[in-house]
Structure 1
């Protein structure tokens, strides 16, 4: 089996609270997962589960209080600013909001060239790479001369994906990259992620609250609940026949196009919630 590209071991993240001598609040309680080269691992959970915090910790944007993060076997848990700048070649991110993640004052060509120029790549080579990136994400070459406001939400997210691909990274952390888009645009962007991965071999950590979304793109799926990974396995198994009650609840909450089946799912979800509530009462 291939060695992991990214390995997270017993990771803990805690944020300080306001007030004198108040204990920090721990968001991640010893999380472990791995991502292999060329693989997509879906990380799914409800709002507040800690999934975005895990992505931020991998990017060096959250206060790690325990555990370790390794990339290609090297410990990057406490990487400093200089090391993070070097890691930017290999680890990139696509954020949730395609409107807020792009500088509205810059042309698309300048947005895409920025990470290339920051790595010392000459202007002429950067311009050629920008043209290549626009083609890669399905945008016309003349898109480089336009401003972000001239594009739809789906097109802006394509620009954000192109920016993440600019340095030919080995891993992209995708933080809810389609949740701000309508359903038809979501499907096209998800297909684009699959196509890009097949063509480039880039690995993806795909963060989402929607089990149906991660099913579409993931080889393996990790389910997070209140700061813990409660289930981690093959995508088709976790998203179709989950073992953990929380994952089953997520599955029952996912909408389906057939009214009768949707009604059955809602009834099953109510039964799961009632069962969990009864178990909590009995445990007291």
Structure 2
């Protein structure tokens, strides 16, 4: 996948995130340790690792939802590591998110039209302009115009995720943090939603931080891939290289854990994974 990158959009430099427990003797939990990543305009960085590796915490830190205790997050040249609430509201124009479960991220009692209008109204967009923008958004994610009058429960999982994508696109952001956005969908729907992400990027030039546990998914959508293990980036590089010929033993284990149709090859992968478990990471 080719990309034109004019400078750097986001730079995370030696960033730590720690959570402090209650009590004097309670040691802080260091969730992220010296993380370094960069994302350029129009680029997708895939962030992959097992559950508990710190992937979601990194996305939350960029969104201002996790405490940065060391290092920095620089967006378009501005350090936003400790941005105020007012500044975060302004930044929501440029940094948005799509989460894993599209149903819980949508208000079940609010019609879709009101859900899509909400971020526009917060930014002071008039009702007439908001209605025009909503029609554009629904067309962009391939949903019919009567979607605005319906409730989230009336849609399939894939359709609800399209609605969540439309909401993230409402303010024409420069970066979208995508936190496992296809993991709750069946394989056919996954492919369609991934293709939608790619189409939107081609049309708008938006950048993605695409969080997933699935190497096949990040290979399909990413320009570059960063691999996270126990709060650290252990490997980073070109998407095809990292996801097909990884250098780090942990990434190699992730690749061997990917299911394949051939039972003999699957058995060989299991054997190789057992051997890799003994290799220091």
Q: TM-score, normalised by structure 1?
A: 0.95
Q: Paired residue for 2:187?
A: 183
> Matches of 1:227 and 1:233 in 2, distance apart?
18
Q: Paired residue for 1:122?
A: 126
Q: Paired residue for 2:10?
A: 6
Alignment partner of 2:86: what SS? helix
What are the equivalent positions in structure 2 for 1:189-268 lying under 5 Å apart? 189-268=193-272
Alignment partner of 2:226: what SS? strand
Alignment partner of 1:231: what SS? strand
1:19-62 residue CA offsets vs partner (Å, 9 max, x unmatched): 33312110111100000000000000001101100000000011
> Matches of 1:72 and 1:257 in 2, distance apart?
44
Q: Paired residue for 2:57?
A: 53
> Matches of 1:266 and 1:183 in 2, distance apart?
23
5+ residue gaps in structure 1?
Answer: none
How far does residue 67 in structure 1 lie from its aligned partner after superposition?
0.1
Aligned residues: 277
Measured on the aligned residues, the alpha-carbon RMSD in Å equals 1.1
How far does residue 109 in structure 1 lie from its aligned partner after superposition?
0.6
> Matches of 2:199 and 2:268 in 1, distance apart?
34
> Matches of 1:18 and 1:221 in 2, distance apart?
36
What are the equivalent positions in structure 2 for 1:1-284 lying under 5 Å apart? 2-273=6-277, 275-276=278-279, 279=280
How far does residue 266 in structure 1 lie from its aligned partner after superposition?
1.6
How far does residue 2 in structure 1 lie from its aligned partner after superposition?
3.0
> Matches of 1:227 and 1:136 in 2, distance apart?
36
